[in-house]
């Protein structure tokens, strides 16, 4: 299977071939994703919520992002390995941003970083790209702005807000991003942006008109049956399956049915 590069993603957009993307936080899942040839493997800072149990993505640290990127990297993904820059690890000073992104690339082994925002991060994006670090943008519902947004709310429903997101997408394109995640915006707006920018758009809760789609892997696998946002399609119900396995195991150990002689060294 071919390794996916930023250039290949642009070619896919031009050829009308949909881009597949999933979040990934550990070696075992990365190993399985590789079998399927997922195009973009994102070590998202959703890591903080779905794997580390934080309330939101704000507390996630660069060290945590690096540790999990290293684990994913050990599976030698064929998809492009992108890692989120966590809250306030970028757009502070140019030097600090470059140091943080540099660590994610050098120590983690990521091939690109993702950061949230439009116009306010444009200079940061340019600086990283000038220093040979490819950047993926992220617009719309940007979880690191949860306190400013007042919750996880669809963005761009009002005309002025929609126009601002279109402008931000054009600004990010001009700054040199190789792709833009569009999260939690109306489908029509996402389709309009997809037509207006030359770089691929990757949607999550943004309808079918994007160049590709991304989901949080734990959500699409049904790892938490109490969590089901409208935009998520569950491709498995793993929580149920795992509970069944744990129960069977516990019962069999208690009853002396496991291990049998066959399951011993
Ligand atoms: O952190 C994350 O999982 C993300 C995706 C939802 C795009 O940014």
Are 135 and 175 within one domain? yes
User: Rounded to an integer, what distance in angstroms lies between the CA atom of residue 153 and that of residue 167?
Assistant: 20
Are 200 and 258 within one domain? no
In a domain, 138, yes or no: yes
Does the pLDDT of residue 2 top 80, yes or no?
no
Kindly list the catalytic residues. Answer: 183
What pLDDT score does 264 carry?
Answer: 84
CATH of the domain at 89: 3.20.20.60
In a domain, 1, yes or no: no
What pLDDT score does 5 carry?
Answer: 98
Residue 201 Cβ inside 6 Å of ligand 1? The answer reads no
Which of 29, 112, 143 should be mutated for ligand 1, with most atoms under 8 A from CB? Answer: 143
Are 222 and 248 within one domain? no
| Helices 62-73/94-103 angle, 10° precision | 30
Are 218 and 242 within one domain? no
Atom 5, ligand 1: residue with shortest CA distance? 44
Residue 214 Cβ inside 6 Å of ligand 1? The answer reads yes
Can you tell me which atom of ligand 1 is nearest the CA of 114? Answer: 8
Structure-token pair, residue 71: 């684990």
User: Rounded to an integer, what distance in angstroms lies between the CA atom of residue 47 and that of residue 64?
Assistant: 9
Does the pLDDT of residue 39 top 60, yes or no?
yes
In a domain, 156, yes or no: yes
Average pLDDT on 235-253 reads 98
Atom 1, ligand 1: residue with shortest CA distance? 44
Are 37 and 120 within one domain? yes
The SS3 of residue 251 is helix
In a domain, 106, yes or no: yes
Does the pLDDT of residue 1 top 60, yes or no?
no
Domains held by the chain: number: 2
pLDDT digits (tens, 9 = 90+) for 211-223: 999 999 999 999 9
Are 222 and 244 within one domain? no
Residue 77 CB contacts under 8 Å (≥ 6 apart), including other chains: 24, 30, 33, 34, 41
Strands (E), 95-221: 112-114, 135-140, 179-183, 201-204, 212-215
Domain region containing 262: 238-265
Are 157 and 242 within one domain? no
- Determine contact, residues 147/55, Cβ cutoff 8 Å: no
Stretch (H or E) spanning 193: helix 187-196
């Amino acid at each position: 299977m071919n390794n996916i590069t930023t250039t290949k993603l642009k070619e896919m957009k031009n050829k009308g071939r949909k881009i597949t993307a999933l979040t990934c936080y550990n070696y075992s899942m990365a190993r399985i994703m590789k079998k399927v040839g997922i195009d973009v493997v994102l070590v998202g800072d959703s890591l903080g919520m779905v794997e580390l149990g934080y309330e939101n993505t704000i507390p996630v640290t660069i060290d945590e992002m690096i540790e999990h990127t290293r684990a994913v990297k050990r599976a030698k993904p064929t998809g492009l390995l992108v890692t989120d820059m966590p809250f306030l690890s970028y757009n502070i000073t140019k030097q600090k941003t470059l140091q943080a992104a540099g660590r994610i690339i050098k120590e983690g082994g990521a091939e690109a970083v993702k950061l949230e925002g439009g116009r306010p991060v444009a200079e940061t994006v340019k600086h990283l790209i000038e220093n040979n670090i490819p950047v993926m943008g992220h617009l719309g519902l940007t979880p690191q702005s949860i306190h400013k947004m007042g919750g996880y709310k669809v963005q761009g429903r009002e005309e002025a807000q929609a126009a601002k997101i279109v402008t931000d997408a054009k600004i990010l394109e001009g700054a040199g991003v190789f792709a833009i995640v569009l999260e939690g915006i109306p489908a029509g707006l996402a389709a309009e942006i997809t037509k207006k920018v030359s770089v691929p758009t990757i949607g999550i809760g943004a309808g079918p008109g994007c160049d590709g789609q991304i989901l949080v892997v734990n959500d699409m696998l049904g790892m938490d049956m109490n969590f089901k946002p409208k935009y998520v399609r569950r491709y498995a119900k793993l929580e149920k399956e795992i509970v069944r396995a744990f129960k069977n195991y516990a019962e069999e150990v208690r009853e002396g049915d496991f291990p049998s002689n066959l399951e011993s060294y």
